[in-house]
Structure 1
């Protein structure tokens, strides 16, 4: 239960109920992903391959 679709900005597009069996569908604008990446460049510039060295330094 409680399945949902949301866009890259976190806006809910469709939600299922918590107490019923449902099939949830929604139209999604996949071009919005690239638009959000250009505006909020965290995902564009992230380097997950460098994270390992940072966490090694944690206690």
Structure 2
């Protein structure tokens, strides 16, 4: 599995709060590195915010 996919998996698991044991989280962080995790997390948050804004505009009809 590529580092990008590992980082994405770790970020998504942490967002929904199902990361498992602390040792597993530490292992995933050590495999990927902290900077790629931060980058992927910022990108996922940006996608989430844009998606929510788009959904709100669609529901409001504007």
**Normalised TM-score (structure 2):** 0.26
User: For the pair shown, which has the larger CA radius of gyration, 1 or 2?
Assistant: 1
Q: Which has the higher contact order (CA 8 A, sep 6+)?
A: 2
The structure whose residues are more often helix, as a share, is: 2
